[in-house]
Amino acid sequence: MLGFALVAGSVWVVLELSSTLVEKMQSRDLLLGLQLPELDDLGQFLRSLPTSALLGLGALTAVLAYWISTRPRPITPPCDLRLQSQEVQMEDGARRSMMGDSSTLLSYYHEDAKTMYEVFQRGLHITGDGPFLGSRLPNQPYTWLSYREVLSRAELLGSGLLSQGCQPSPDQFIGVFAQNRPEWIISELACYTYSMVVVPLYDTLGPDAIRYIINRAEISTVICDKAEKAAVLLENVQRGETPGLKTIVLMDVFDAPLLEEAQKSGVLVRSLRDVEALGRENYRKPVPPGPDDLSIVCFTSGTTGNPKGVMLTHGNIIADFGGFLKVTDKVIFPNQDDVLISFLPLAHMFERLIEAVVICHGGRIGFFQGDIRLLSDDMKALRPTIFPVVPRLLNRMYDKIFSQANTSLKRWLLNFAAKRKGLEVKRGVIRCDSVWVYVTLA
């Protein structure tokens, strides 16, 4: 009965609209010229229809009305997409974005976040003691460290490093040789808290490049995740290839043989927790950096010779993600409810800038388990709102989805859905709840 009432109401709306339209035309000749039926004839025609036909017509009208009222609207681009930048005069080919509203270069977006240390403090102020860094074991839910827990551990770790001889200065370089995990961010924040500089190391650099970076940056302390990596670093010291390396801090547990090798090499090996305990006994007040102080040195993979170190100040990074916030502030609104899944290498600035945006607004960061094959499982458990990707990963996801289409009908549906989604994007309709998304993921 309720369904019939809804359908009847829909038909009534259509009839009323038709009546209004006819009244506005106020011309029988115009109606005849357009060959539109008389309203009386239309009403007689509808009354002659069986109930099932009226129900179908009403349902179709209701669906059409709903679609018209809720259909997605295209996003208006902030500038001409064919002209997104302009050349800066007297700057040797440099270009400036057309999406800004001022010719002045942007140094920061938030007045209270001009260094990476202040970025964290701002996020802490927004969220209080809210969840910050999450990790999980296989088939387990995510567990979280709060903002205050991370702050406490970073200050203890930084104090412990200072107790071992490191200096609270932009001339002090600390290597971080680890996969994405909470301790990476804790180590980074420890450096920022005491004005030290982070130098990321990663496996794909290769052993020669890692040795080169340790020597070139005069790194005396490396924080790494696994004992296997520490063993490689010790071998380099034993061969006399990295004589300046004096301390290795391990995130994971390690056994006695590693300590024996460290003693032979004259290198101090300690666990991260032990260094934090040392910092608790010898706590130092934070020594925050300034915007012009060095923040990080990112080394390239060295495809054209030795790796090249890119020296980025705190102000460089702040200006970078400040520019992103400025040109997207009409469509993207980061907040403390955002959840980022961290799986792209933290040794690359793309991932670190995205994480900086999340931290600055009090959001959460959940780390994948370390195996890219389990990424989809991690995403189901985390339910992120932010998913940064690179083309290689998108191609892999595309191939995996289409490889599962084992019938001609499924392949046709997937191709059709992909094309329709592509047309939506070309029209400026950006959404993740279209029927084409569900067809693809079904």
Q: Which residues pair with 133 in a beta bridge?
A: 145, 365
Please provide the average confidence, as pLDDT, over all residues in the chain: 86
Specify the pLDDT at position 161. Answer: 98
Angstrom distance (rounded) from CA 341 to CA 374: 13
Specify the pLDDT at position 14. Answer: 46
Q: What domains can you pick out in the chain, each with its CATH number?
A: 2-70 (no CATH), 116-388 (3.40.50.12780), 393-441 (no CATH)
Q: Using one digit for the tens of pLDDT, what is the confidence trace for 291-310? A: 999 999 999 876 778 899 99
* Mean per-residue pLDDT, 231-256: 95
The pLDDT confidence band at residue 42, using thresholds 50, 70 and 90, is low
Q: Look at residue 177 and give its three-state secondary structure.
A: strand
Q: Is the pLDDT of residue 25 over 70?
A: no
Do 209 and 184 meet the contact criterion of CB atoms below 8 Å apart?
A: no
In this predicted structure, which of 34-43, 99-108, 336-345, 392-401 has the lowest mean pLDDT? 34-43
In this predicted structure, which of 288-297, 391-400, 429-438 has the lowest mean pLDDT? 429-438
* Mean per-residue pLDDT, 280-298: 97
Q: Using one digit for the tens of pLDDT, what is the confidence trace for 189-235? A: 999 999 999 999 988 888 889 999 999 999 999 999 999 999 999 99
Stronger pLDDT, 41 or 200, i.e. the higher one: 200
Q: According to the 3-state scheme, what is the secondary structure of 345-366?
A: CCCCHHHHHHHHHHHHCCCEEE
Specify the pLDDT at position 224. Answer: 97
Stronger pLDDT, 6 or 241, i.e. the higher one: 241
Q: Is the pLDDT of residue 21 over 70?
A: no
Specify the pLDDT at position 240. Answer: 94
Q: Using one digit for the tens of pLDDT, what is the confidence trace for 336-359? A: 999 999 999 999 999 999 999 999
In this predicted structure, which of 50-54, 200-204, 320-324 has the lowest mean pLDDT? 50-54
Cα distances from 73 to residues 31, 69, 330, in angstroms, run 33, 10, 15
Q: Is the pLDDT of residue 30 over 50?
A: no
* Mean per-residue pLDDT, 352-374: 95
Joined together, the tokens standing for residue 265 give: 């090499």
Angstrom distance (rounded) from CA 336 to CA 329: 16
Placement of tokens 């370390």 in the chain? 370
* Mean per-residue pLDDT, 359-384: 94
What single string gives the DSSP state of each residue in 65-110? HHHHHHPPPPPPPSS-TT--EEEPTTSTT-EEESSSS-SSPP--SS
Joined together, the tokens standing for residue 58 give: 């009403």
Do 209 and 302 meet the contact criterion of CB atoms below 8 Å apart?
A: yes
* Mean per-residue pLDDT, 115-132: 96
